[in-house]
Structure 1
Amino acid sequence: MGKKLFTATLGAGVMSFSVQAADLEVIHWWTSGGEQKAVTVLAEEFNKLGKDKWIDTAVALGENARSLTMQRILGGDAPGAAQFNTSRQFEELIEEGLLLDLSPVAEKEGWTDFIRPSSILNPCMKDGGIYCVPVNIHSAQWLWTNKQVFADSGVKEPHTWEEFLAAAPKIQAAGYIPLAFGGQGWQERHVFDVVLIGVTDEAFWNRLWKEKSVDAAGSEQMRKVFETFGALRQFTDTGAPGRNWNDATNMVITGKAAAQVMGDWARGEFAAAGKVAEVDYGCIPGPSQRPYLTLGGDAFIFPKSSDKSLEAAQMKLASMMLSPVIQAKFNNTKGSLPVRADVDLTVADACMKKGLALLDDPKASITPANAYITEDTNGQIQDLVSTFWNEPSMSVDSALSVFKGIIEDAE
């Protein structure tokens, strides 16, 4: 792709701030093996920059970490930085004036010139200010496969949901679990969204989430989404309820299961286990007739503080997170794509290269649902999806009716 790493050293590439030391507590939800290796990159590199110190507060599950952060900020005991998704999750904090405006460092370094695509930075921007740092590009639509399990089962890796549902009984008959599944609300919603884009298309996705079309919400296409999603239940295992996503990934890594639907962060788990992309495991964008990537990711917010030493440390961390050296090192470990194109990606594996190729295709990128709907609407949909998944007696007609009502009232 012709990308070149900046020759400047990390120290030269990060803005200089106050020399006074500060302890900067960072709340995040990166707790799996691969995630811990990635966040360690950020912590160790920040600690190398001077006397400021990264204080790590890891909280399992994103909703738990975000809830804790909100409570801490509103309670007057804010951390120095906190992880959110690139979405509308923190817009109320911006509106209430509780976040540090990063414009001074953003303008000096030209964030709007190199952060790509623009949809990644947009959630950080409001009323002329920049209130978060996007650190990566994550895509949700991936089917991760164990190649040996598919070979043993005598079936090809599927590229559509129809193909998966046709292959699953044969995988089951061969003694394997067709679909490694984590029965947690966000994971159920995750798979639902992947099924949605897999059996529809970009135009339908935008009608539903961006335009909040009630007609789309109650359509035959939406019926097929619920039918396909429900059909997957029979191909999971009884241990799925409550299972963490990385434990489901491990089922694929160890050959207990054939496949898992998960975002590209799962690649970090395969890499941590020493598995080789497209040799030991496969990565299929979709499954879908036309591969799409929903371009979301992780971002860090920095609550306002009256402590000038802490503010200087916050600005230093924000700058460091977007330096070309850190963008390459962190994202190669995390399994995600960098938010800037001018980094060294020669070490990218076969799966990361697939993601980069799709990122370069403007027709393959779509905006995630949570960029268009509020957290309240998002929560209602997640509750519906979880109820539908866990209560097979709930009919598709009932689910469609509730879903249509949610979209009708969506903001």
Structure 2
Amino acid sequence: MPQMSIKDKLKNLSTHPGVYQMLDGKGQVIYVGKAKNLKKRVLTYFSKEHADGKTRALVANIKDFEVIVTDTETQALLLENELIKQYKPRYNILLKDAKSYPYIYITNDKHPRVSFYRGQKNENYQFFGPYPSAHVVRDSLALLKKIFKVRQCTNSVYRSRSRPCLEYQIGLCTAPCVGKVSDENYAQDVAMMSLFLSGKGKETLDQVSNKMQHASKNMDFELAAHYRDQLIGLRTIQEQHSSQSMGNMDVASIAEKEGVHAVEVLFVRSGKQIGQECLFPKHAKGKSSQEVLSAFLPLYYLGKDIPKQLLLSEKLIDKKLIASALKTKIIDAPQKDKRHFLKIASLTAEENLKQHLISKFTKRTQLMQLQKILNLKTLPNVMECFDISHTMGEATTASCVVFEKGLPKVRKYRQFNIKDITPGDDYAAMNQA
């Protein structure tokens, strides 16, 4: 689009809050931004020289722009987040696509089931979490199985049982499917597990202790032993995860070196750290830590369940705006009881960044050596490796693995069924693949 057309559009641009989209010569969105005042913000791209090389490159590629006006700056932030995820513009700070957080859920069946869950919630079920990763959920489920012995099998398996399964034989389930436990006792186990997952550890211990004593007084020693084992397991967990009760919060700390940023997020639930995740935002070179963290938070949290408190290592300029959009309390000057979580996050971010940079340097060194050995003109940044396998000439299969910049790209792996060749002819199989 001619530059004069851009100038004409700038003259008549709205001063309301909104979102602007920068377009290249092909009409593709190359940058999305939000503004409290659209006219004032968009003008800055064309009215001065920019010291930042990335911004200069962006401006050089802008051939047109579009705007969307909103009522408030918060609405603009939400819309900006959606458009960035939709278009993945090359000049925006981006995050790797991630699945939704996993949960533990309890069904509302006659004999409720506890299991792993990810996706849209069923209003009739109880959900606990979110947890930082699938393996944390599976570890928790394995622990719950030992303590509460509530079934984790699918409903189809549960309905088809005529005798107890192996889980019952090794003491990991009370086999409600075949009536090995009364409905009342099973319901009590489910209720205790629900209480424990809700973060009410002390209340759970007290109730289990009372039930154990009551069963002992009634001479039901088998049931008393069951509650005793539960009590021992719960106390062990509390000893391993002892911490002051401070509710649910996430802790985000950012580290920067050589133009690369690492954001470490700790997940704290009921005062206990249950996991962490480290991310390396793309297109963040030349940006300050505050800018990167401001861009990171909406991309990471919008559309997910957010804890009531968010502890940050940086003081953000748009702190109030982000807190309003995420509907959470942002803390950047924590009290002493929470400060150690921030220190853990900061140290971990620095370590993960160091390892990330070392890994990148090592991979590049390996690629340079491979380039030299194979006498290549450029670095082998993209490699596709094929292999043929068969069983005595039958069921021939070709596999392809892909490496980009020295790292495996599993989503690009492929497997091919080879047909119509002489059995055992690897060269023909390779040719077909």
TM superposition score category, shorter chain reference: under 0.3
Higher normalized strand content (fraction of residues)? 2
**Greater relative CO (CA pairs within 8 A, separation 6+):** 1
Structure in which a larger fraction of residues adopt helix? 1
TM-score (norm. length: structure 2): 0.23
